[in-house]
Amino acid sequence: MCGIVGYIGGKQAQPILLNCLGRLEYRGYDSCGIAVSANAIEVYKDAGRVKQLAGAMPKLDGVVGIGHTRWATHGEPSQINAHPHLDCSGNIAVVHNGVINNFQKLKQQLIGEGHNFVSQTDTEVIPHLIEKYYHGNLEEAVATALRDVEGSYAIVVLAAGEPKLVVARKDCPIIIGIGDRENFIASDVPAILDYTNRALYLEDGDIGIVTKEGIRLRRDGAEVKREEHRIPWSVEDAQKAGYEHFMLKEIHEQPKVIRDTLGDYTQRAEPAMLMDTGIESMLILACGTSYHAALVGRYIMEELLSILVRVELASELNYYVPNLAKTGAIAITQSGETADTLKAMKKLKDMGCPVLAITNVVGSSASRIANQTIYIRAGPEISVAATKSFTAQLMVLYWLAMSYSKVDARRLAGLIMGIRQLPKKVQQVLDNEDEIMKYAKYLAGYENAFFIGRGINFPVALEGALKLKEVSYIHAEGCPAGELKHGSFALLSKDVPVIAIVAQDNTYEAMLTNLKEVKARGSPLIALAEEGDEDIDQLADSVITVPKGDAIFSPVINTVALQLLAYYAAKQRGCPIDNPRNLAKSVTVE
């Protein structure tokens, strides 16, 4: 996944393009570049971050330009593979996000027709195709070129002497930011918020012709209109609001995110079409942290809806044919752009299964594929490690299950009271940050760790381990506590701490037994337990106390504590918390 930008207006494009790119580095940050045109196109690109590039770059003159920050898929991060890419004449420059599947075939064809290629990227075929079809009308040439392309793309095209930018998308996000006698193009909202909060979201197959004066959208050769969106997020939303890292800022935003997401749905009695189609079983699909939210969702839905719920990794769903009789599907994806999840959604839809998407990004591909979309209200999540989006996804799953629940009125009233208390309880966990920081500094001294839980907190153990792995580079494994004795016990020793999630529910007694077994094998033991639990104090070396509450909501409270544990362990180890190595915010390749 990459971040692409474009600017056309009255101001010098170079500083604007660099600023917009800086805001998109969470999408990929291994190399970057810009191209600016006055009469001829000038390109400056290299491996590394935007800041470095800006420092080394000469002044480029021009009021129209494009830019790119990369997460390599084809061709290693290097100056030659960085974008923008040019045609033979150097008069056409392209930045691209996505993957061109048939680029090898196209490249051979074009080389056969005399085109010279310089990079190993898939992208470079695009400017050469446009050059092949250019007969004075840039958007026509782009449209023809894209007919040859198979794969996913969001592109911005700059041509020397042309007072316009041409933009197009298929399966990758692109927005146009509307300014006053200037316009902006970007892969995502944070890039344009310094300049405008008015945006157009292109649909797959749309081609946009963007000039200083205006924007024209075409589709299959005909003019189309797209609804203008006012983005409710301020620049600050996209900035760190004073926190050292986006991850810590986003962890602390969770009480507000819970209120925003719940607030939005308890007000609007918008039926979830899925629940009204007489389905008898649910299939929830997702990847990574969203998959862990799906696993918690199964416990919630099976308890409140009494229907069969299957949870599948989207990347695996592509390899078998699920029985979908009377089944509805829910796809959970923060970015709305995760390739594995989108592919699985399309497969299920093609098999006639209704698909509801739960996503954070308005206008994302998932929201286009799904029959209905429920947006979480997490705001922009910049840090690669998902935190607030997980909590917001759970809020939607609770809302769905409670809205259609089969439980008696007394239980439902208890649930409504419990969920309304969540923002306060999460704030209590956040207020206990210093204590958690203490245990995190201790944990930071280890290279391996286990997280264990049972029942609805088993997925929380998986999520705690994923967070620690992602940001602190400590090898961590989430494990159902009952499984330890079937093998993982062999790894326990004084060098392998265990973090145990102990909830006051039907798993409590069994968890106490597991804690004794862990201590007997010499592992340092950190327990996450409800305040006032004396038994735990006797057993664990350290106890992170969390507020009491209805066990069905404990995954929210416990996960926030584990997010802080991972954050402060990573901080203690000096890790690049917001941009962990080898990772990107959403994975748009399979």
Residues interacting with ligand AGP, by CB under 6 A?
Answer: 287-290, 333-335, 338, 341, 384-386, 470, 586-587
β-pairing, 475-480 vs 448-453, is parallel
CB-nearer residue toward ligand AGP: 507 or 586: 586
Nearest distance from C-beta of residue 374 to ligand AGP, angstroms: 14
CB-nearer residue toward ligand AGP: 343 or 519: 343
Nearest distance from C-beta of residue 381 to ligand AGP, angstroms: 9
DSSP designation for 171? B
Token code pair at residue 362: 């308005």
Is 585 a residue of the active site? yes
DSSP designation for 42? E
User: What kind and span of H or E run contains 554?
Assistant: helix 554-572
CB-nearer residue toward ligand AGP: 24 or 138: 24
Nearest distance from C-beta of residue 30 to ligand AGP, angstroms: 17
Nearest distance from C-beta of residue 357 to ligand AGP, angstroms: 10
Which of these is catalytic: 249, 467, 571, 585? 585
Give the three-state DSSP class for 465. helix
CB-nearer residue toward ligand AGP: 165 or 400: 400
Q: Is 496 left (phi over 0), alpha (psi -120 to 50) or beta?
A: beta
Which of these is catalytic: 2, 32, 172, 353? 2
Measured distance CA(64)–CA(438) in Å, rounded: 51
* Cα 395 versus chain centre, distance: 17
Give the three-state DSSP class for 292. helix
- The answer to whether the CB of 367 falls within 8 A of the CB of 359 is yes
- The answer to whether the CB of 279 falls within 8 A of the CB of 353 is no
Counting Cβ atoms within 10 Å, is residue 442 exposed (0-12), middle (13-18) or buried (19+)? middle
Nearest distance from C-beta of residue 338 to ligand AGP, angstroms: 3
- The answer to whether the CB of 466 falls within 8 A of the CB of 387 is no
Measured distance CA(173)–CA(188) in Å, rounded: 7
DSSP designation for 491? G
Nearest distance from C-beta of residue 251 to ligand AGP, angstroms: 12
CB-nearer residue toward ligand AGP: 123 or 341: 341
Which residues, in sequence order, are bridge partners of residue 449? Answer: 476
Nearest-CB residue for ligand AGP: 288
Measured distance CA(224)–CA(222) in Å, rounded: 6
Question: Cα torsion for 400, 405, 409, 411, to the nearest 10°?
Answer: -80
Is 287 a residue of the active site? no
Cβ neighbours around 559 below 10 Å, total? 29
Give Dmax over CA atoms of the chain in angstroms: 80
Nearest distance from C-beta of residue 310 to ligand AGP, angstroms: 18
- Cis (ω within 30 of 0) for the bond into 84? yes
Cβ neighbours around 276 below 10 Å, total? 10
Nearest to 258 by CA among 388, 438, 417, 435: 388
- The answer to whether the CB of 150 falls within 8 A of the CB of 101 is yes
Nearest distance from C-beta of residue 373 to ligand AGP, angstroms: 14
Residues tagged active-site: 2, 585
